[in-house]
Structure 1
Amino acid sequence: MDNFATVDARTLPGPAPPDPDPRAVARRGSRTVEGVYRFLLTPRWWGINVFVLLAVPFCVFMGSWQLSRFEGRVQDHRAASEQAAYGRDDAARPLERMLPVDKSTSGRRVTASGRYGEQLLVPGRELDGKRGFYVLTLLRTGSGKALPVVRGWLPGTADAAKAPAPPAGEVTVTGALQASETPGDNGVGAGGGLPAGQTGAISAASLVNLVPYRLYDAWVTLDRADSGMTAVPAVAPNGTGLDLKAFQNLGYTGEWFVFAGFVVFMWFRLLRREVEFQRDAALGLVPQEPGRTPVASG
């Protein structure tokens, strides 16, 4: 027997495999990418894509709208402040020419003539950090209507004995025109049950049952208070201040833009998970789930 070892042909080195064609590799890679993302054309993903395409513009639109509301309130507040400053030096105009009260006329100086009639107190009003009450007197004008006139403010609890009597005879008043108050806004009392001779809000709706006159839907605060009282400064009309509602608009703006970003983030997250699932399923690493068919990768 020869002493030569038997060599298994399978252990002999074979010829090296040929280098892959780069164009073929590129074509297979392209088909793989197309296969992985082919799930975007399934009905399930059509629904997801349509939802995202509708939700994102809607959220952006709502956020922009809320931002415009906030900017509008800021502009109104600036205009009202400028108008109040301008109105103090503006020449007084006849009351009838400045009605009805709106954002352009609120705070402007007006003048009216007549005779004082019924007098009421408006409790629970603060001025310079102190609590007190307004002295409100109805001015009966020649038009047959009565104009509520705030003649001044006094500290302490509302007491008719503290309020000075109005001047007798024909008088001419000059002051800032104000819109009727709404109970519950800007510190205006909303509760009822006040004693006789008192009112919580200065408005025609609140006064119509308290005085026997037809009323203007407006009121005036005098430039100079009567009889040692303190003059009540004019206030900006409702909806023109940087109040809670204005900052709510700013908060809603942020919320809508966050929603838009969240929708986009969730879409990319779902896309990434689906791609990983398709690749793992194509390699047989995960079982096939009902309703999700792995797409061939090449």
Structure 2
Amino acid sequence: MLRTLLSPRLVALHLLVIGVLVSFTFLGRWQLGVFESSGAPRRAPDPAPVAVTHLTQVGRYVAVDDVGRRVTATGVYDAANQLLVADRVADVAAPGGRAARGDGFWLLTPLRLADGTVVPVVRGWVRSAGDPATAVPEGTVTVTGRLRHAEQTGDVQRTGLLPRGQVATVSTAELINMWPDARVRDGFVVATTQEPPSRATPVAVPAPTIGGGLTWRNLAYALQWWVFALFAVYMWFHFVRDALRGRRQEPSGPESKGPESAGPAAPAEA
């Protein structure tokens, strides 16, 4: 049997099947990867900045489609009402509260616009409450950043009571109570640039994304390649089985001679 399996014809078949299996498995895995990546979020179109007044209002939620949009705002910071958002890192998408306990603070400062309304602005991040970068610039400032929807009070696991002047979330409902004399627009702006420049560390804020749609066609292609690979194994098995059967049916030596081919009979004794 081993001689049959190692015959030149079957060795070529073995090598061909191995090549087919490796190639088809790779092609199926590639199509599966395309299928998996098709569902990943993709970067959405990122239009030029617009005035924050075009996308936010007092008493009306920020539209979902406007979250992440680049906006600009010009006004004067209200230094007396600045707040520190406790237990945060310099990334707006990172978890806060107990998950980032002691990591630092966002500088949350109300920016009063020309129409008298207020936009909450995260000016940057500092490691400690006594950092000199917490100082609020005087005069008119122009902020460019990305719009975020207001956080919910339950978005973070709180670390307990915070000192006066600190909050756990950027919640419009909470800010209305803390800034009772201000007409607060919903949402907040995470500053990316500011004139005059800020000394605080900028808080990273992602560009808007859109969800991807799974391309089921690629999954079907992956299954096709793997079915072809199984079919190649099936055909290899039949070729090898037929070769072994043919080998067993071949005569192993000269055929036995019949009676007619035997020599002359010995004469009978008298």
> Kindly tell me: are residues 161 and 211 of structure 1, through their superposed partners in 2, closer, same or farther at Cα, counting changes over 3 Å?
farther
1:217 aligns with 2:174: no
CA contact (8 A) 2:143 2:193 kept: no
CA contact (8 A) 1:189 1:201 kept: no
Q: Give the C-alpha shift of residue 106 in structure 1.
A: 0.5
1:206 aligns with 2:163: no
- In the other structure, the counterpart of 1:115 is 76
Where 1:125 maps in the other structure, the secondary structure is coil
TM-score (norm 2): 0.50
Moved more, 113-122 or 93-102: 93-102
Where 2:88 maps in the other structure, the secondary structure is strand
Q: Give the C-alpha shift of residue 94 in structure 1.
A: 1.0
Taking the aligned partners of 1:121 and 1:210, their CA distance within structure 2 comes to: 13
Taking the aligned partners of 2:167 and 2:185, their CA distance within structure 1 comes to: 16
Match of 1:232 among 203, 208, 212: 203
Where 2:167 maps in the other structure, the secondary structure is coil
Where 1:127 maps in the other structure, the secondary structure is coil
Q: Give the C-alpha shift of residue 189 in structure 1.
A: 4.9
CA contact (8 A) 1:110 1:175 kept: yes
CA contact (8 A) 1:151 1:221 kept: yes
Q: Give the C-alpha shift of residue 191 in structure 1.
A: 5.7
Aligned pairs for 1:1-298 (under 5 A) are: 78=41, 82-83=43-44, 86-87=45-46, 90-99=47-56, 100-117=61-78, 118-127=81-90, 131-155=103-127, 157=128, 159-160=129-130, 162-185=132-155, 188-190=156-158, 193-212=161-180, 213-224=182-193, 226-234=197-205
Taking the aligned partners of 1:201 and 1:215, their CA distance within structure 2 comes to: 15
CA contact (8 A) 2:75 2:113 kept: yes
Taking the aligned partners of 1:162 and 1:120, their CA distance within structure 2 comes to: 15
Q: Give the C-alpha shift of residue 125 in structure 1.
A: 0.5
CA contact (8 A) 2:75 2:112 kept: yes
Taking the aligned partners of 2:158 and 2:132, their CA distance within structure 1 comes to: 24
- How many aligned positions are there? 158
> Kindly tell me: are residues 149 and 199 of structure 1, through their superposed partners in 2, closer, same or farther at Cα, counting changes over 3 Å?
same
TM-score (norm 1): 0.46
Taking the aligned partners of 2:134 and 2:140, their CA distance within structure 1 comes to: 17
**Letter of the structure 1 residue corresponding to residue 183 of structure 2:** R
Q: Is there any run of 5+ residues in structure 1 with no aligned partner, and where?
A: 1-73, 242-298
**Letter of the structure 2 residue corresponding to residue 214 of structure 1:** R
Where 2:111 maps in the other structure, the secondary structure is strand
CA contact (8 A) 2:90 2:202 kept: no
**Letter of the structure 2 residue corresponding to residue 123 of structure 1:** A
> Kindly tell me: are residues 163 and 121 of structure 1, through their superposed partners in 2, closer, same or farther at Cα, counting changes over 3 Å?
farther
The structure that is helix-richer by fraction is: 1
Where 1:137 maps in the other structure, the secondary structure is strand
Percent of aligned positions that are identical? 40
Where 1:207 maps in the other structure, the secondary structure is helix
Taking the aligned partners of 1:230 and 1:161, their CA distance within structure 2 comes to: 11
